[in-house]
Structure 1
Amino acid sequence: MERFVDEALVLSTVDYGEADRMVTLLTRQHGKLTAFAAGARKSKRRFAGALEPFMYLRVHLVETRGSTVRLDSTDILAGYYAARQELPLIARALYAVEMCRELTRDHEPHPELFALLEEYLVRLNAKEAGPTSLLAFELSALAHAGLMPRFDACALCGGEPGERPRFDQAHGGAVCEPCGVRARDAVAVPAALLAGLRALQEGHRTPLAPELRAQARGILNVFIAHHLGRRLKSVDFMAQVGLD
């Protein structure tokens, strides 16, 4: 059995048996891994305070015969403790890690996505990531996963979206008004919303107005749920907290 060390962000954990824990990690070099941490809920020496969502760790792992690896020990590199003190920051962090967990497959390296998530958590912890920053994170994460929605042109005909565009998750983004007639699930969206989301895709961090932000949240939730086959659980938590 091969032993290896990697950096990892904790995506989620599930208690297993009386003392163990299954941990989903996004590692820098090996992608998403499911790790078995024997005695994790009792061991204060190896895992104390480490196996919580969005912790940044150095992990000591052992390959096993199945797809699950064994987690032997951890070193905490960053806990993002400031972000854990405010409910809105916790909600955004949990949404970000759940999204990364659902967008990736086991054992497929995603170094760019790892760096993106790490950077976002650092900004959350420093209280430098506002509501629009979460939209920018989502769009970048979708791009890394090969699911980037299109806002610059009609996803069906390639023409200009026009002054009365629509958004259709099934066809991958904006559609012009004539094509929207053929896209049964397309919903009308303001042209200003497409322009704002396109700017975020291009790396511009200009904050969106609250109304546009709420509309952006709505269409991205639908787009992500369509491609994943389910709605992310943390969407409801953000709504309960009062976040758009």
Structure 2
Amino acid sequence: MDRYTDEALVLSTVDYGEADRLVTLLTREHGKLTAFAAGARKSKRRFAGALEPYMRLRVQLVETRGATVRLDSADIVAGYYTARADLPLIARALYAVELCRELTRDHEPHPELFALLESYLHKLDAKEAGPTSLLAFELSALAHAGLMPRFDSCSLCGGPPGERPRFDQAHGGAVCEPCAGRARDAVAISAELLSGLRAIQDGERTPLSPEFRARARSLLNLFISHHLGRRLKSVDFMAQVGLD
């Protein structure tokens, strides 16, 4: 059995049996892994509070015969403790890690996505990530996963989206008015919103109004839910907290 060390971000945990825990990790070099942590719920020395969502760790892993690896040790590199003491920051962090968990497959390296998530969590912890930054994070995460929605042209004909565009999650983005009849599930979207999302996609970080963010979030929720086949649980948590 091969033993190796890697950097990891905790995406989620599930209690297993009376004392063990299954931990889903996004590692820098090996991608998403499900790790079995024996005795994690009873041993205060081996894991010492490290196996919590969005902890950044240095882990020692051992390959096993199945898809699950064994977690032998975990040292905390960054706990993002400021982001654990503020409910809006908790909600955004949990959404970010759930999105990354659902966008990735096991054992497929995603170093760019790891770096993106690590950077976003650091900004949350430093209180440097405004509400608009979540939209930027989502669009970048979707791009790394090969699911970038198209805002600059019609997803069907490739032409300009026009002044009365629609958005069709099944076809991957904006749809111009002439093509709207071929996109049955397309929803109305203002040219202003389409332009704003394209600007965020291109790297612009100008703060957006709460109304604009709410409309953008609704659109991305629709797109992400369609491609994942379900609505992320953390979306509802953000709504309960009062985040757009």
Instruction: Please tell me the TM-score bracket, short chain as reference.
Output: over 0.9
Helix, strand or coil for the counterpart of 2:170?
helix
**SS of equivalent residue, structure 1 residue 9:** strand
What is the CA distance between 1:229 and its match in structure 2?
0.6
Q: 1:140 and 2:118 equivalent?
A: no
1:151 match = 151
Alignment deviations for residues 147-181 of structure 1 (CA, whole Å, 9 cap, x no partner): 00000001011111111111110010001111112
* Distance in 1, Cα, partners of 2:184 & 2:74: 50
Q: Deviation of residue 131 (structure 1)?
A: 1.0
Amino acid of the residue matched to residue 78 of structure 2?
A
Q: Secondary structure at the match of 1:171?
A: coil
Q: Give secondary structure in 2 for the equivalent of 1:181.
A: helix
Q: Which residue pairs with 1:42 in the alignment?
A: 42
User: In structure 2, the residue corresponding to 1:109 is in which secondary structure?
Assistant: coil
Match of 2:215 in 1: 215
TM-score, normalised relative to structure 1: 0.99
Q: Output one character per residue of 1:187-229: Cα deviation in whole Å (capped at 9) or x when no partner.
A: 1111111111111111111122211111110110010010011
1:7 paired with 2:7, answer: yes
Cα separation, 2, equivalents of 1:143 and 1:55: 24
Alignment correspondent of 2:120? 120
Identity percentage of aligned residues: 84
1:40-79 alignment, distance < 5 Å: 40-79=40-79
Which residue of structure 2 aligns with residue 184 of structure 1? 184
**C-alpha distance in 1 between matches for 2:190 and 2:87:** 31
Q: Identify the residue that residue 243 of structure 2 maps to in structure 1.
A: 243
Residue ranges of structure 1 left out of the alignment (5+ in a row) = none
Corresponding residue of 1:129? 129
Matched, 1:161 2:161: yes
Runs of 4+ in 1 over 4 A off after TM superposition: none
Aligned residues: 244
Partner Cα distance (2:82, 2:65) in 1: 39
Alignment root-mean-square deviation, CA: 0.6
Aligned to 1:100: 100
User: What per-residue deviation string (whole Å, max 9, x for no partner) do you get for residues 46-79 of structure 1?
Assistant: 1111000000000010000001000001110000
Q: 141-150 or 207-216, which moves further after superposition?
A: 207-216
2:77 maps to a residue whose letter is L
Which amino acid is 2:139 matched to?
A: L
Aligned mates of 1:213, 1:180 — CA distance in 2:
24
Amino acid corresponding to residue 215 of structure 1 in structure 2: R
Q: Structure 2 unaligned runs (5+)?
A: none
Take 2:152 and 2:31, find their aligned partners in 1: how far apart are those partners? 31
How far apart, in 2, do the equivalents of 1:211 and 1:159 lie?
28
Structure 2: distance between partners of 1:40 and 1:234: 25
Tell me which residue corresponds to 1:20: 20
Separation (CA, whole Å) in 2 of partners of 1:222 and 1:46: 41
More displaced stretch, 207-216 vs 71-80: 207-216
Tell me whether 85-94 or 181-190 shows the greater mean CA deviation: 181-190
